[in-house]
Structure 1
Amino acid sequence: MILLHSRRSSPGGYPSTTNEVTLLETVFFIVALSVLENAIRIPCHSSWPMLEMAGLDDGSMEDQFSFRNLCMKTEMLFHMNIFRLTADLAHLVAIFILALKMWTTRSVAGISGRSQLLFSAVFTSRYLDLFTNFISVYNSAMKIFFLLTSFGTLYLMWIKFRATYDRNHDTFRIEFLVLPCALLALLINHEFTVMEVMWTFSIYLEAVAIMPQLFMLSRTGSAETITAHYLFALGSYRALYILNWVYRYYTEGFFDPIAVISGVVQTVLYADFFYLYVSRVLRQKRGLQLSA
């Protein structure tokens, strides 16, 4: 058994018209711009020698739009760095897009129930400390939100809209993901306790939980635009967390190999989808179609 002694500190229907998607995106960008505007207005007089040594900031205290000042003001407002904040926002956007798709069309077509089942297992095993380890109101609220929405998604998929669920294409053998992740969590973890092993299991499982969805996409050969938006937001969430870890390494000397390596694996799995999303969905303004 290998123990890695780094510590974690974060929780981690298709519209009838295009106006609904536009409204969702507009709200997201307004919130993001408001956050940045308020952050820039807060004065800051601290120095970050580690960032300057890393070449991420020029050390000028006069430039209120510098990378350093923007990051520090975000931390003052939200007690977290800007990369983690935007990652959490991307995750929330992904969940809202998924809920919008299912509820508006009264259908779960194109969504992998197996991936959603794995995500529910991820959040359940990760947040076992919900009532025993209080970090902040934000942290606890996000944990509760992710748990409720993950189980709510399962309810919509397996009960309320089960007649629209595409079982014929959602056939990925999830036991080939769950069992190796469980074994790896027992062998490589921070500390051999129930909470730590379950947290580690959730990190490993989240890295591969999207595979049934990508497998389903490869079998059907296409995805609705709203589904593509959901997958892109979900992939962006973990990619932004990689930037969060890079940032924390340079500012705090913090490095968690379990989370970082798993996050890189997860982002790599999305790489081909990201390319198709940008080239076909954003540029050509149409649903995602895979080449034969």
Structure 2
Amino acid sequence: MKAHQRPIHAVSMWVRRQPPKVKAFLAVVSGMAALVLIRSIVHDHDNLFIAAEAVHSIGISVLIYKLTRVKTCAGLSLKSQELTAIFLAVRLYCSFVMEYDIHTVLDLATLATTLWVIFMIRFKLKSSYMEENDNFALYYVLVPCAVLALFIHPSTSHNLVNRIFWAFCLYLEAVSVLPQLRMMQNTKIVEPFTAHYVFALGVARFLSCAHWVLQVLDSRGHLLVALGYGLWPSMVLISEIVQTFILADFCYYYVKSVVGGQLVLRLPSGVV
């Protein structure tokens, strides 16, 4: 083992031996430290949202390369892509009827790419699709998100149905990656392009979460009031945090694998 890798290996082994509560505490502390660092470096927090979109685009580019050049969809979850298409389609509808802006155009481009990925997995590259490992039941996330949206949604002047749809796509986005994580846990070994794509999602969602958290801190909580009343403002922030923590464990093992010079990521039991 190289000299510069020994401290990293020692730290990773120490973290792995800790009980779940200690690991959760370390994750929270690490996240807070990262937020403090970002706050001191990035003065315009809107740039964090732009950076999140850019990283997400890089992840999609890796996915396109995998499907067009490598010509395999092994390791990719069709169900995660379908959930992504659902929340993007709902969010596009809400954007058109509630508030049209530049993010609507970005969502349209992302939806078109996601539908293309679904087409490739279902038809062009179906022989390499690992369907037996993509066994996450979609109703586990669709039903809870729909029920939650019925009771907790924006308190704006828009049509009630549109407000429920908006809440639904927010909640669904937070958990849409779960089938992909389950599939990787089933296979235990994640090939590089899939790992790069999921890591890009994790970084993008952390940057998006940092954007919201820092905006709330800088406005001293006034931003939450501006989002409406009731539980909805808090759920917006909680959804962003949930998205980040869902992928945090995977990102840890990804970074550890890259530092260790491993081309293939091996996930231990219990990561997802």
The letter of the residue matching 1:196 is: R
Question: Which secondary structure state, in structure 2, belongs to the residue aligned with residue 254 of structure 1?
Answer: helix
Displacement of 1:170 in angstroms is 0.7
1:282 Cα deviation from its structure 2 partner: 3.8
Extract structure 1 runs of 4+ deviating beyond 4 A: none
1:212 is matched with 179
Q: Which whole-Å deviations, capped at 9, do the CAs of 1:191-245 have from their partners, x for residues lacking one?
A: 3712211111111111111111111111111111111110010011111111111
Within a 5 Å distance, the mapping from 1:246-265 to structure 2 comes to 246-252=213-219, 253-255=222-224, 256-265=233-242
| Aligned residues of 1:178 and 1:205 also touching (Cα < 8 A) | yes
> For residue 257 of structure 2, what is the aligned residue in structure 1?
280
Equivalence for 1:71: 43
1:250 deviates by 3.3
CA contact (8 A) 1:126 1:199 kept: yes
| Shift, 1:67, TM fit | 4.8
Q: Which residue of 1 aligns with 2:103?
A: 139
Segments of structure 2 that go 5 or more residues without pairing to the other structure are 1-35, 225-232
What is the distance in 1 between the residues matched to 2:234 and 2:111?
25
Deviation at 1:129, TM superposition (A): 3.1
- Residue type of the partner of 1:270? L
Q: Mapping of 1:1-292 within 5 angstroms?
A: 67=40, 71-72=43-44, 81-133=46-98, 135-136=100-101, 138-191=102-155, 193-252=160-219, 253-255=222-224, 256-291=233-268
In structure 2, relative to structure 1, the CA distance for the partners of 1:269 and 1:139 (3 Å cut) is closer
Rounded to whole Å, the distance in 1 between the matches of 2:54 and 2:217 is 23
Structure 2 contact 94–165 (Cα < 8 Å) conserved: no
- Tell me how far apart the structure 2 counterparts of residues 82 and 282 of structure 1 sit (CA, whole Å): 28
Provide, for residues 52-86 of structure 1, a one-character-per-residue CA deviation record: whole Å limited to 9, x for no partner: xxxx89xxxxxxxx958x534xxxxxxx7111111
Which secondary structure state, in structure 2, belongs to the residue aligned with residue 212 of structure 1?
Answer: helix
CA distance in 2, matches of 1:67, 1:158: 46
CA distance in 1 between counterparts of 2:261 and 2:79 reads 30
Contact 2:92 2:104 in 1 (8 A): no
- Could you tell me how far 1:134 is from its partner in structure 2? 5.0
C-alpha displacement of 1:187: 1.0
Per-residue deviation, 1:133: 4.4
Secondary structure of the equivalent of 2:133?
coil
> What percent identity do the matched residue pairs reach?
30
Deviations 1:248-278 (A, max 9, x none): 2234431332221012112111121011011
Distance 1:130 1:201 in 2: 13
What are structure 1's unaligned runs of at least 5 residues? 1-55, 58-65, 73-79
State the aligned residue count: 220
More helix by share: 2
CA RMSD in angstroms comes to 2.2
